[in-house]
A and B are shown apart, each in its own frame.
Chain A
Amino acid sequence: MDRKSNIPPKLAQWLLLRFLREDYAEEVLGDLDEKFYSVSQKSTPLKAKLNYWKQVIQYLRPFAFKRSKHSIRTTMLHHYLKVSWRNILRSKGFSFINVFGLAFGLTASVLIMMYVLDEWSYDKHHVGGDRIYRIASESDTDKWVAVPAPVGGAIKESFPEVETAARLVRIPGFETILLKGQKAEKQFFETNVFYVDSTFFDVFTYDFLYGDADALSKPNTIVISDDVATKFFGDANPIGEPLTIGLSFGDFIYTVTGVFDRERYKSHIPANVLLSMDNNDIGSWVKQQQSWIFNGLFHTYVKVRPGTDSEAFERKVDNLYQAEAGEDLEQAGFTKSLYLQPMEDIYLHSNLGYEVASNGNMTYLIIFSSIALFLVVIACVNFMNLSTAKSEQRAKEVGLRKVVGAFRSSLVGQFMMESLLMSGLALIITLILLQLVTPYFNGLISRELSLWNMPIVLVLLVGLTFASGIVSGLYPSFYLSSFGPAAALKGSLKNSYSAKAIRQGLVVFQFTISSILILGVILINQQMQYLSSQELGFDKSHKLILPLKTGESIQNSELLKSQLRSNSEVQQMTVGGVYPGIELVTDMLFFAEGKTSQENVDIQTTYVEGNYIETLGIELLKGRTFSSEFKSDTNAVVLNESAIKALGYDVESALGKQVYYALNGERYAMRIIGVVADYHFESLQHEIEPLALLISPAFSGPTRYFIMDVQSASYTSLVQSIERVWDEVNPGSPFQYSFLDADFERNYRKEMLTMQLIQSFTLIAIVIACLGLFGLAAFTAERKTKEIGVRKVLGASVGQVVVLLSSEFARLVLIAVVIAAPIAYFMMDEWLNEFAYRIEMSWWVFLVAGLIAMTMAILTVSFQAIKAALSNPVKSLRSE
Chain B
Amino acid sequence: MKETKLGEFEEVLLLLVGILEEDAYAFKIAEEFEAQSGRSASIGSVHSTLDRLKEKGFLTSEMGQPTAERGGRRKRIYTITNVGRNALQASRDFKVNLWNQYPGLAIDKLNILGL
Instruction: Identify the A interface with B (CB < 8 A).
Output: 24, 26-35, 37-38, 54-55, 58-61, 63-64
Contact = CB atoms under 8 A, between A and B. Distances in A.
B79 to A, nearest CB: 15
B48 A27 contact: no
Interface string B59-92: 0000100110111011110000000000000000
A27 B51 contact: no
Contact of B47 (A38, A54, A64): A64
B37 interface: no
B73 A55 contact: no
A58 B66 CA distance: 24
A29 B47 CA distance: 12
Contact of B75 (A31, A37, A55, A58): A31
B69 A32 contact: no
Given A28-B47, A38-B31, A63-B52, A55 B42 contact: yes
Contacts of B26: 27-28, 31
A60 B47 CA distance: 11
Contact of A30 (B31, B48, B74): B74
Given A27-B26, A63-B51, A64-B48, A35 B73 contact: no
A33 B45 CA distance: 16
Given A63-B51, A63-B52, A30 B44 contact: no
B27 A35 contact: yes
Nearest to B29: A31
A70 B66 CA distance: 30
Q: Which of A26, A31, A35, A64 gathers the greatest number of chain B CB atoms within 10 Å? A: A31
B20 interface: no
Chain B interface residue count: which class?
20 to 34
7 contacts: A27-B25, A27-B26, A27-B76, A28-B47, A31-B47, A34-B69, A63-B48
B76 A59 contact: no
A37 B43 CA distance: 14
A61 B25 contact: no
B43 A58 contact: yes
A30 B67 CA distance: 9
A479 B20 CA distance: 58
Nearest to B55: A63
Contacts of A55: 42-44
Contact of A31 (B27, B48, B63, B66): B27
A33 B47 contact: no
A61 B73 contact: no
Nearest to B45: A58
B62 to A, nearest CB: 11
A518 B61 CA distance: 78
A32 B70 CA distance: 8
Given A28-B43, A35-B27, A64-B47, 12 more contacts: A27-B26, A27-B73, A30-B74, A31-B26, A31-B47, A32-B27, A33-B73, A37-B69, A55-B42, A58-B45, A59-B42, A61-B45
B106 to A, nearest CB: 34
A33 B30 CA distance: 14
A34 B26 CA distance: 10
Contacts of A28: 26, 43, 47
Given A31-B25, A31-B26, A26 B44 contact: no
A320 B109 CA distance: 108
Mostly, the B contact residues are helix
A60 B43 CA distance: 11
Nearest to A27: B76
Contacts of A32: 27, 43
B13 to A, nearest CB: 14
Contacts of A61: 44-45, 48
Contacts of A24: 47
Contacts of B76: 27
A450 B45 CA distance: 58
Contacts of B31: 38
Interface in B16-55: 25-27, 30-31, 42-45, 47-48, 51-52
Given A27-B25, A27-B26, A33 B71 contact: yes
Nearest to B61: A27
Q: Which 10 pairs, one residue from A and one from B, show the smallest C-beta to C-beta distance?
A: A30-B73, A58-B44, A58-B42, A30-B70, A31-B27, A59-B44, A27-B76, A34-B27, A61-B48, A63-B51
Given A35-B27, A61-B48, A63-B51, A26 B74 contact: yes
A202 B76 CA distance: 84
Nearest to B74: A26
A512 B27 CA distance: 73
Given A34-B27, A54-B42, A29 B71 contact: yes
B5 to A, nearest CB: 18
B60 to A, nearest CB: 14
Contacts of B74: 26-27, 30
A61 B67 CA distance: 26
Contacts of B45: 58, 61
B43 A33 contact: no
B61 to A, nearest CB: 9
A33 B67 CA distance: 11
A26 B43 contact: no
Nearest to A31: B27
Nearest to A51: B42
A106 B25 CA distance: 63
A61 B43 CA distance: 11
Contacts of B43: 28, 31-32, 35, 55, 58-59
Contacts of A64: 44, 47-48
A34 B51 contact: no
A33 B70 contact: yes
B71 A30 contact: yes
A45 to B, nearest CB: 15
Nearest to A57: B44
Contacts of A26: 63, 73-74
A132 B31 CA distance: 81
B51 to A, nearest CB: 5
A499 B73 CA distance: 50
Contacts of A59: 42-44, 47
A354 B47 CA distance: 87
Contacts of A31: 25-27, 43, 47, 70, 75
A323 B85 CA distance: 113
Q: Which of B51, B73, B76 gathers the greatest number of chain A CB atoms within 10 Å? A: B73
Nearest to B76: A27
Given A37-B69, A59-B47, A63-B48, A27 B75 contact: yes
Contacts of A38: 31
A8 to B, nearest CB: 8
A64 B48 CA distance: 7
A224 to B, nearest CB: 76
A33 B69 contact: yes
A59 B51 CA distance: 12
Contacts of B70: 29-31, 33-34
Contacts of B44: 55, 58-61, 64
A199 B104 CA distance: 100
Contact of B73 (A29, A54, A58, A63): A29
A24 B43 CA distance: 13
Contacts of B67: 30
A54 B30 CA distance: 14
A19 B52 CA distance: 19
A29 B76 CA distance: 11
Q: Which of B44, B48, B75 gathers the greatest number of chain A CB atoms within 10 Å? A: B44
B64 to A, nearest CB: 9
A609 to B, nearest CB: 104
A63 B42 CA distance: 15
B45 to A, nearest CB: 6
Contacts of B42: 54-55, 58-59
